[in-house]
């Protein structure tokens, strides 16, 4: 947890520092002759011009910039969107028997949740059983499934995880955020021969 905190802070500081020393607008040669914004499509309104309000959205005052960066990192909401996506991917990784992908997804769910709890420590108590028990249980099940030694179907493992997501939603007073296992595949990742 400490290491993740240091890492996250390091990334935040790097972003802030890089932004502080970056020129307000890229040089003419970097922009090209039609001079659209850095990421604007050709012919689009230049939204990074020097005289525009958003040329520098991050304050040059470190205290203000830190407040801004904290707001932009968000709390649990965006992390939960990520976790929702990864949970669905985990389910399909199991159906595909794509165990390295399943392992990857459970690790990213853990990371996203830990970082979110660093930003919102009041939620940590409700998440503790999920981190201490559910995540290790799922990781173990993936190991067993990949070695074909599991008596348990991976679908039931995913369903237990779903129930444990809900325990935290109930504890955090959002029981109406009901987690389902969806039977519609929307990912661009799958198995088989790539075309
Ligand atoms: C801290 C305990 C906790 C755990 C564990 C947890 N959630 Fe959440 N989840 C929340 C809270 C709280 C919200 C409401 C968002 C907010 O208050 O910022 C939420 C919201 C969500 C949302 C809605 C996000 C949005 O803004 O659209 C999804 C999707 C979601 N959770 C999925 C999951 C899934 C899937 C799992 C399990 C793999 C899970 N959650 C585990 C606490 C948790």
User: 34-64 in b/e burial notation, b at 16+ Cβ within 10 A?
Assistant: eebbeeeeeeeeeebeeeeeeeeebeeeeee
- 31 pLDDT higher than 80: no
Query: Which residue has the CA at smallest separation from atom 10 of ligand 1?
Result: 169
Q: Are 138 and 157 in contact (CB under 8 A)?
A: yes
Q: Tell me the CA–centroid distance for residue 169 and ligand 1, in Å.
A: 6
- Give the pLDDT score at 1: 47
- Give the pLDDT score at 128: 98
Query: Which residue has the CA at smallest separation from atom 29 of ligand 1?
Result: 84
- Give the pLDDT score at 43: 82
Using alpha carbons only, give the angle 182, 188, 191 rounded to the nearest 5 degrees: 90
Write down the residue that tokens 């249980």 correspond to. 137
* Torsional sign, CA 154, 157, 161, 163: positive
Cβ burial of 24 (10 Å; 0-12, 13-18, 19+) is exposed
Query: Which residue has the CA at smallest separation from atom 36 of ligand 1?
Result: 165
Q: Tell me the CA–centroid distance for residue 125 and ligand 1, in Å.
A: 14
- pLDDT tens digits, 55-109: 788 999 999 999 999 999 999 999 999 999 999 999 999 999 999 999 999 999 9
Q: Could you tell me where the DSSP H helices lie in 35-192? A: 62-73, 77-96, 99-119, 124-129, 135-146, 154-171
- Give the pLDDT score at 51: 59
- pLDDT tens digits, 35-47: 445 667 788 877 6
- pLDDT tens digits, 5-22: 554 544 444 444 444 444
81 lines ligand 1 (CB under 6 A): yes
């Amino acid at each position: 947890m400490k290491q993740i905190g240091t890492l996250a802070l390091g990334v935040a500081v790097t972003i802030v520092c890089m932004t502080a020393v970056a020129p307000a607008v890229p040089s003419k040669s970097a922009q090209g002759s039609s001079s659209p914004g850095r990421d604007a499509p050709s012919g689009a309104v230049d939204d990074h011009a020097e005289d525009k309000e958003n040329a520098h959205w991050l304050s040059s005052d470190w205290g203000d910039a830190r407040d801004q960066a904290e707001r932009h990192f968000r709390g649990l909401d965006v992390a939960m969107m990520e976790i929702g996506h990864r949970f669905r991917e985990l389910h399909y990784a199991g159906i595909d028997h794509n165990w390295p992908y399943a392992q990857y997804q459970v690790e990213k769910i853990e990371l996203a949740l830990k970082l979110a709890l660093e930003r919102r420590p009041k939620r940590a108590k409700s998440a503790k059983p999920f981190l201490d028990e559910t995540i290790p249980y799922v990781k173990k099940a993936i190991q067993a499934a990949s070695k074909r030694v599991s008596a348990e179907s991976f679908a039931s493992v995913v369903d237990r995880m779903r129930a444990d997501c809900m325990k935290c939603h109930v504890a955090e007073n959002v029981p109406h955020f009901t987690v389902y296992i969806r039977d519609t595949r929307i990912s661009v990742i799958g198995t088989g021969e790539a075309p």
